[in-house]
């Protein structure tokens, strides 16, 4: 360690450390071409309550120290920590970080102040002993494009200019990792609730309460380099079971064992492919008992066995909510297994329950307590896994709170504002551990996820979105950002969740177009809370009515949501699309296997595979499904022709007609129902003869 009088910098176990103005900063190699930065007031740094980063990877950094400047170089990434003098500032000297490419001396990212007088670039505002409100500010760069940050619903393909919460909510999943067109990736390795802003004048990350700053930066030549490096340090996906690439059937909700089986049997009778059928909520006795209601589901094991005999997997919805009426409530309360509140009633969400029927006030089990995780899993194993269930729909796992006041939540590790973004990760992790111990090759369908969730075999779905064109359009960038956040297993409720009326011509058109998108998505799943039969469709421009209080419908059963539920014309189109999905499965198998090895998204922005397509950073209307299929969903009602820009660097074949188009041109194609524009790279056409009959005719 160097003399603290002459320099605030020193090297410790290969890391560059600074102690200056009562703050410690530690920068160390963490994977190839990557550095991890931690800081906090005091004489040491701290681990976050939950970290997305695995164990420290190998690295051979080079540290250089002078009295006013120090640097650490790890492969292609260099960080400089310099003491800057500030005129007219509250704190006149501070240690400021700058990241650059070590090989070409190009600035990638640098700290800055929002105003010369302050606050500092890393500003810690004390809340209580060992906890701070944190703000970290960086330069903004003209022409920079950003992707990732989880799965949003703002509809923007480019995060530049976006301000968003770092708070897990229904349909808004937070994975605080972004990929920049400037050649870096940035992981905010902090599970705290906060905010992120990519403004034109500054980039700002905040944590409402935290024990320290922690982030990870990686340098790469392109998005592929960066995303692959992220997977290397946060974990790679397992291989997906083959059945999961087929068609999933779901609705809100199948009430009984007989009803569910009748739908599966009808699929078989009609000769329609079906890989999975899903049992939604309220199959249980009470929230927090995590078991089937025997009056409606008398023999779950027989159910699973019959479905498997038909080649169909079964998934069941399990919520982490707990009612005071649950048989486990007393045990969980006395053992500290529940989230509580800092003040007021120890409940975080009003929601209906089955017994007693009607609205109640619930809390959630606390996955920040390892014993609570074990207890919850033991009940799930006894009541579901031991009855043959391998696959779980982990709904409401944000956790969903109404109203959302995370600072009023108390976990086993501290205040909720410090860590609640990681709730779904710990919840999902215990399921994966338990299922692996049972030798089950399982899938988890989850409404929320945090950084590193891809290693747990998690399918993220885009939540309870509305059945209208605006929300449908938002699903394309939602899926792209999820993929750029590491979550390649992704899906959406085909047709949307709320307000879909099966008798409405407008909804039927939307459903068909959404189904087209679903077929060319990573996971293909039909779901929704449909208006019950007998309720007249709304007039154009009017709001949807469910015919009675939606509370009763929501807890009972919405309208039908099967392939054959929307009229003969729609059924014919959907059956053909199911054939297409089945024929796509061999290709998808290779794409998912590549994702598991590398981290390359299954559904990716065009520029991920075609770096020169720089205009695609703001394009929310096209994407690549694997490396060889370009998809342009129909996003406007009434559209029967579309113009699609084809990436340069390849020639393209229109899947439905076999027409050839040169790369870099605009293709004008017809798009009747069931045929959204799909183009195949010419060199890969032979893979798709069974998918698109027109291609087989070419040969």
DSSP 8-class letter at 660: E
Exactly one of 353, 418, 428, 464 is catalytic; name it.
Answer: 464
- Beta strands of 69-202 (E only): which ranges? 69-74, 77-85, 93-101, 107-110, 122-128, 131-138, 146-148, 163-166, 177-180, 184-188, 194-198
H-only helix segments in 204-299: 223-234, 257-270
User: Which pairing describes strands 69-74 and 62-65: parallel, antiparallel, or unpaired?
Assistant: antiparallel
Measure Cα distances from 311 to 249, 250, 307, 444, 475 in Å: 13, 16, 6, 19, 30
Exactly one of 353, 398, 499, 613 is catalytic; name it.
Answer: 398
Whether the CB-CB separation of 158 and 452 falls below 8 Å is answered with: no
* Cβ-proximal residues to 443 (8 Å cutoff; 6+ apart), any chain: 240, 241, 244, 315, 390, 391, 457, 459
DSSP 8-class letter at 365: B
Told to judge if 85 belongs to the known catalytic residues of this protein, a careful annotator would answer no
Cα separation of 582 and 246, whole Å?
Answer: 6
H-only helix segments in 423-504: 423-437, 469-484
Mutual angle of helices 505-519 and 469-484, in 10-degree steps: 10
Task: Characterize 601-621 residue by residue with b for buried, 16 or more Cβ atoms within 10 angstroms of its Cβ, and e for exposed.
Answer: bbbbbbbbbbbebeebbebbb
Exactly one of 395, 400, 418, 600 is catalytic; name it.
Answer: 395
Measure Cα distances from 31 to 60, 219, 382 in Å: 10, 11, 41
Cα separation of 254 and 258, whole Å?
Answer: 9
Cis (ω within 30 of 0) for the bond into 253?
A: yes
Element (H, E) at 361: strand 357-364
User: Which pairing describes strands 15-20 and 9-12: parallel, antiparallel, or unpaired?
Assistant: antiparallel
Told to judge if 464 belongs to the known catalytic residues of this protein, a careful annotator would answer yes
Told to judge if 280 belongs to the known catalytic residues of this protein, a careful annotator would answer no
Q: Which residues are catalytic?
A: 395, 398, 464
């Amino acid at each position: 360690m160097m003399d603290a009088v002459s320099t605030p910098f020193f090297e410790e176990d290969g890391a560059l450390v600074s102690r200056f103005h009562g703050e410690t900063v530690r920068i160390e190699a963490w994977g190839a071409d990557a550095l991890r930065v931690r800081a906090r007031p005091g004489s040491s740094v701290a681990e976050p309550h939950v970290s997305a980063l695995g164990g420290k990877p190998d690295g051979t950094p080079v540290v250089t120290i002078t009295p006013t400047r120090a640097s650490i170089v790890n492969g292609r990434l260099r960080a400089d920590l310099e003491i800057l003098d500030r005129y007219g500032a509250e704190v006149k000297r501070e240690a400021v970080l700058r990241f650059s490419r070590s090989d070409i001396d190009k600035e990638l990212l640098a700290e800055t102040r929002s105003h010369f007088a302050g606050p500092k670039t890393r500003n810690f505002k004390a809340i209580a002993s060992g906890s701070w409100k944190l703000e970290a500010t960086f330069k903004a760069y003209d022409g920079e494009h950003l992707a990732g940050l989880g799965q949003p619903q703002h509809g923007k393909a480019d995060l530049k200019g976006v301000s968003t919460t770092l708070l897990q909510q229904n349909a808004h999943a937070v994975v605080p990792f972004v990929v920049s067109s400037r050649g870096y990736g940035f992981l905010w390795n902090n599970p705290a609730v906060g905010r992120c802003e990519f403004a034109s004048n500054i980039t700002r990350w905040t944590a409402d309460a935290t024990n320290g700053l922690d982030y990870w930066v990686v340098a790469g030549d392109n998005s592929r380099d960066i995303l692959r490096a992220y997977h290397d340090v946060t974990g790679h996906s397992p291989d997906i079971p083959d059945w999961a690439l087929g068609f999933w059937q779901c609705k809100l909700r199948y009430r009984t064992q007989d009803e569910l089986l009748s739908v599966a049997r009808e699929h078989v009778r009609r000769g329609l492919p079906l890989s999975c059928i899903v049992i939604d909520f309220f199959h249980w006795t009470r929230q927090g008992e995590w078991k089937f209601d025997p009056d409606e589901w008398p023999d779950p094991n027989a159910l699973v066995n019959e479905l498997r005999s038909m080649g169909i997997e079964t998934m069941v919805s399990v919520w982490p909510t707990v009612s005071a009426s649950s048989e486990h409530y007393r045990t969980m309360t006395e053992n500290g297994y529940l989230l509580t509140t800092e003040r007021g009633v120890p409940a975080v969400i009003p929601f209906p329950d089955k017994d007693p029927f009607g609205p109640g006030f619930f809390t959630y089990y606390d996955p920040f307590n390892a014993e609570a995780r074990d207890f919850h899993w033991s009940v799930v194993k006894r009541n579901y896994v031991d009855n043959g269930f391998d696959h779980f729909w982990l709904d409401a796992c944000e956790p969903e709170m109404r109203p959302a006041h995370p600072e009023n939540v108390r976990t086993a590790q501290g205040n909720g504002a410090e860590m609640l973004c990681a709730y779904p990760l710990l919840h999902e992790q215990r399921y994966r551990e338990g299922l692996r111990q049972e030798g089950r090759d399982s899938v988890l369908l989850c409404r929320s996820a945090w950084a590193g969730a891809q290693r747990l075999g998690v399918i993220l779905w885009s939540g309870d979105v509305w059945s209208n064109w605006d929300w449908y359009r938002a699903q394309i960038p939602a899926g792209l950002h999820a993929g750029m956040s590491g979550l390649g297993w992704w899906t959406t409720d085909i047709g949307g969740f709320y307000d879909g009326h099966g008798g409405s011509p407008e909804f039927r058109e939307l459903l068909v177009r959404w189904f087209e998108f679903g077929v060319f998505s990573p996971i293909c799943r039909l779901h929704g809370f449909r208006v019950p039969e007998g309720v007249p469709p709304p007039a154009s421009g009017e709001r949807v009515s469910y015919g009675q209080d939606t509370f009763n419908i929501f807890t009972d059963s919405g309208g039908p949501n099967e392939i054959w539920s929307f009229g003969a014309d729609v059924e014919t189109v959907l059956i053909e699309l199911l054939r297409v999905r089945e024929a796509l499965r061999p290709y998808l198998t290779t794409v998912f296997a590549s994702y598991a090895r590398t981290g390359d998204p299954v559904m990716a922005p065009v520029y991920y595979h075609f770096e020169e397509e720089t205009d695609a950073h703001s394009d929310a209307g096209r994407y690549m499904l694997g490396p060889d299929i370009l998809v342009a969903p129909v996003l406007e009602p009434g559209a029967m022709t579309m113009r699609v820009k084809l990436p340069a660097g390849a020639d393209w074949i229109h899947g439905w007609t076999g027409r050839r188009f040169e790369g870099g041109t605009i293709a004008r194609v017809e798009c009747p129902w069931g045929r959204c524009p799909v183009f195949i790279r010419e060199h890969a056409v032979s893979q798709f003869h069974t998918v698109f009959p027109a291609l087989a005719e070419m040969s």
